[in-house]
Amino acid sequence: MATLADVARRAGVSPATASRIISGSTKLVTDELRERVLRAVDELQYVPNAHAQFLARAQRTAVGVIVHDVSDPYFAEITRGLQQVATANGRLVIICNSYRDPSRELEYVELLRAQQVAAIILAGSGYHDPAFTKALTGKLAAYTRTGGRVSVIGRHELPGDAVMPANADGGHLAGVEVFGGGHRKVGVIAGPKVLTTTTDRLAGLRRAAKQYGRTLPPRRIVFADFDRDSGADATRRLLDDAPDLTAIVALNDSMAVGTLSVLRERGIAVPSQMSVVGFDDMPIARDVTPALTTVRLPLTEMGARAMTLALEDRARTPRVEPAAATLVHRESSAPLAT
Amino acid sequence: MATLADVARRAGVSPATASRIISGSTKLVTDELRERVLRAVDELQYVPNAHAQFLARAQRTAVGVIVHDVSDPYFAEITRGLQQVATANGRLVIICNSYRDPSRELEYVELLRAQQVAAIILAGSGYHDPAFTKALTGKLAAYTRTGGRVSVIGRHELPGDAVMPANADGGHLAGVEVFGGGHRKVGVIAGPKVLTTTTDRLAGLRRAAKQYGRTLPPRRIVFADFDRDSGADATRRLLDDAPDLTAIVALNDSMAVGTLSVLRERGIAVPSQMSVVGFDDMPIARDVTPALTTVRLPLTEMGARAMTLALEDRARTPRVEPAAATLVHRESSAPLAT
DNA sequence: ATCCTCCAGGAAAACGCTTTCCTCTGGTGA
DNA sequence: TCACCAGAGGAAAGCGTTTTCCTGGAGGAT
């Protein structure tokens, strides 16, 4: 690998001059030397060592992002928003997938600190796990203390600037759609119990039930892993235990898709025999049949706002920006036929 | 930010000793010093500067991957395979999205070289663009010359080790499905003309047509961007120009989904009035209605094999590993009713 | 002709770590 | 008692850049 010294030698100049020409310093250099150096760069196919550059400059320009899984459309959308703002500000983004493993999340905070990123953004659900939360908060505090910026998306357990999706309100909207439509026996396909996203959405759903004089008994709630196949399994269990349901709310769209596939396989018509409501409004929602009624979150915008918060100067007090949920009515849900 | 020197000072040892304890050298150190250093690390919340470590060690452990867009399921699957093998070998993976912009691809090769990665993997379609191909080949050659490893997925324009999806064979399989089913008027939703993936798949399709004594006239081929919405637009144009079609082959599943949505919107029944065949077998394929008949590529495995090639020692001659295509028959296609 | 100013270019320190090589101590064997 | 050896710990030399500070020469002003 050619180094700056090689280039300088070949061009017959000092490394200092070569560096100035290559990385565009403000210092003036004669055209003749400039040309000699650029020729040497070209001939040697020289590319500066990024790590050495990093060490020598005192900059701190990259931004780290920790998500559960980028290939999940939910996070893909958020990431798109994050990237847009980052790129507009000339920042490089390092993306880390925790695959919903808290310990891996802890490791990635260390890794990003080691990479000297200017900011760390955590996206995705929080965990009901005081020990872990404490450990994570500690690591983030240490980072913040040395000038690092932190912002989070949808994780109210953590301190710092935050963008908060209205998960409870969204749950309420889904609840209004089914209970308001006259459904009494409503099943729920929930996400993992330890995630705050699950409990928040569930809370909103419960509020709607109460408002319509209904309840959400435990036997009509099954917990799955927020993905299609576990959603399908959960749906089978739910239908076996409570065959008299007339509506199912899945707490994300992936699981709702699994629900639809099970209903199709059992010959249960949607929405005439069973209403189905999802959550997130992922792109697939409009392509399944029947198209999915779902609660929409402005994912891309949430990502953009979280990045903006992270790049702005630190405010005196942590800022919290809400992100509203809206119901997108499609064909998978209908009022209860009387 | 605390440095190694800070830790050493606080523990009352030399930086050398601190380094040995922290990064687990083989050299022996007394328990007492070890404990003092670890305590200091904890108190200062010290994390080693990764760039400095990189510079000091002569290692070369990270691997770079350039894809069109990770949030596209096609690349998400490939990336999963790449990651599996990389993680199993203790390698960090840096992922770069070119968003199908050749110049960005060039930039990323430089970036990855600057990051001193041990290998660069390019995944996705090649371009019919001699000038660009030459530039890219040149950059990769410079990298290879300094000990870098390169492997590609589905890019026969580039030299080096490669995993080659059977795009032409896959196109042929799709063709056999429709022409072999008796269809005569077959429309094609193709990808961008400049991509070799498009031309390869199209070539296979043509071969099948010829084999069954049919042709694929230009007016029955429309070009789109390999995404759902452009696929839908293309389908509308195709149907308007050639209303007598009985089958449509889309050269990837995203576009096939767009095709299905247009057919639904126009009240054309699938497969009784129109057969639809996709390509790639993305997860959505089984969740649309009717479930999509499609050509399957072993994406995850392709990723895993490309990473394996990249991590193995360089062979004397470039190795090319084929990846076979198979037809997955579902409900969106049927023989022509006579 | 002399002095000063200005500026292009180079020497060298610094960034934060790893690792080689060296020193010094304490223990062992004759 | 002396010589030797082993092993723990430290000094210092890098790794490849950037950047500060300095040098020397050209040109202008007096």
What type of residue is B213?
G
Distance CA B248, CA B278 (A): 9
Distance CA B104, CA A83 (A): 15
Q: Which of A321, A317, A307 is nearest to A117 (CA)?
A: A307
Q: Which CA distances in Å does A40 have to A33, A48, B117?
A: 11, 13, 23
Best mutation target among A79, A107, A287 (most B Cβ atoms within 10 Å) is A287
| Residue A127 DSSP label | B
Amino acid B56 CA to nucleotide D15 C1' distance, rounded Å: 5
pLDDT along chain B (338 residues), means of 10: 93 94 85 93 93 88 92 90 92 89 93 94 95 95 91 91 97 97 97 96 98 95 96 97 95 97 95 97 92 96 96 86 97 91
**Overall pTM surpassing 0.75 (yes/no):** yes
Count of residues making up chain B: 338
Cα B90 versus chain centre, distance: 21
Instruction: Give the minimum alpha-carbon distance from B153 to chain A in angstroms, rounded to a whole number.
Output: 19
CB within 8 Å of B156: residues ≥ 6 apart: B126, B162, B164, B196
| Residue A284 DSSP label | G
Of A51, A114, A286, the CB nearest to B116: A51
**What is the CA angle B228-B234-B235, rounded to 5?**
90
Distance CA A66, CA A101 (A): 11
Distance CA A18, CA A5 (A): 8
Instruction: Give the minimum alpha-carbon distance from B145 to chain A in angstroms, rounded to a whole number.
Output: 9
Instruction: Give the minimum alpha-carbon distance from A77 to chain B in angstroms, rounded to a whole number.
Output: 8
What type of residue is B228?
R
Beta strands at A293-296 and A275-280: parallel, antiparallel or unpaired? parallel
User: Exposed (0-12), middle (13-18) or buried (19+): which is B272, by Cβ within 10 Å?
Assistant: exposed
Using a 7 Å cut-off to protein CB atoms, list the covered nucleotides of chain D: 7-12, 14-20
Task: Give the model's pLDDT for residue B24.
Answer: 82
Q: Which of B122, B89, B86, B91 is nearest to B104 (CA)?
A: B122
Cα B142 versus chain centre, distance: 23
Cα A246 versus chain centre, distance: 32
Query: What would the two tokens of residue B258 be?
Result: 């767009």
State whether B1 and A55 contact (CB < 8 Å): no
Per DSSP (E only), the strands in chain A are 63-67, 93-97, 119-123, 149-153, 161-165, 186-190, 221-223, 247-250, 275-280, 293-296, 320-323, 326-328
Chain B positions touching A111 (Cβ under 8 A) are 50
Each residue of A62-107: pLDDT tens digit?
A: 999 999 988 888 999 999 999 999 989 988 899 898 989 999 999 9
Crossing angle of helices A228-241 and A253-265, rounded to 10°: 50
Query: What would the two tokens of residue A112 be?
Result: 């990003």
**Cβ atoms within 10 A of the Cβ of B107, count?**
15
For residue B76, give the chain A residue with the closest CA: A71
Task: Give the model's pLDDT for residue B40.
Answer: 95
Asked if A25 CB < 7 A from strand D, the reply is yes
| Residue A288 DSSP label | B
Asked if B33 CB < 7 A from strand D, the reply is yes
Count chain A–chain B contacts defined by CB atoms under 8 A. Answer: 90
Distance CA A234, CA A158 (A): 30
Count of residues making up chain A: 338
State whether B257 and A228 contact (CB < 8 Å): no
Helix (H, G, I), strand (E, B) or coil at B67: strand
| Residue A257 DSSP label | H
State whether A114 and B47 contact (CB < 8 Å): yes
The overall longest dimension of chain A from CA atoms, in Å, is 90
User: Exposed (0-12), middle (13-18) or buried (19+): which is B1, by Cβ within 10 Å?
Assistant: middle
Helix, strand, coil content of chain B in percent (nearest 5):
45, 15, 35
Query: CB < 7 Å to strand D — which of 126-145 in chain A?
Result: none
Instruction: Give the minimum alpha-carbon distance from B46 to chain A in angstroms, rounded to a whole number.
Output: 9
Chain B positions touching A54 (Cβ under 8 A) are 51
Give the neighbor-by-neighbor strand order of the sheet with A63-67: A93-97, A63-67, A119-123, A149-153, A161-165, A320-323
Helix and strand numbers, DSSP H then E, in chain B: 12, 12
Of A116, A283, A284, the CB nearest to B51: A116
State whether A51 and B113 contact (CB < 8 Å): no
**Ramachandran category for residue B154: left, alpha or beta (phi over 0 → left; psi -120 to 50 → alpha):** left
CB A245 within 8 A of CB A274: yes
CB B257 within 8 A of CB B284: yes
CB within 8 Å of A82: residues ≥ 6 apart: A65, A93, A121, A123, A303, A304, A306, A307
**Ramachandran category for residue B45: left, alpha or beta (phi over 0 → left; psi -120 to 50 → alpha):** left
Using a 7 Å cut-off to protein CB atoms, list the covered nucleotides of chain C: 7-12, 14-20
Q: What is the DSSP string of A200-229?
A: HHHHHHHHHHHHTT----GGGEEE--SSHH
CB B282 within 8 A of CB B309: no
State whether B49 and A110 contact (CB < 8 Å): no
Q: Which of A79, A301, A318 is nearest to B72 (CA)?
A: A79
Helix (H, G, I), strand (E, B) or coil at A278: strand
CB B35 within 8 A of CB B45: no
pLDDT along chain A (338 residues), means of 10: 93 94 85 92 93 88 92 90 92 89 93 94 95 95 91 91 97 97 97 96 98 95 96 97 96 97 95 97 92 96 96 86 97 91
**Using CA atoms in the order A267, A268, A272, A274, what is the torsion angle rounded to 10 degrees?**
-160
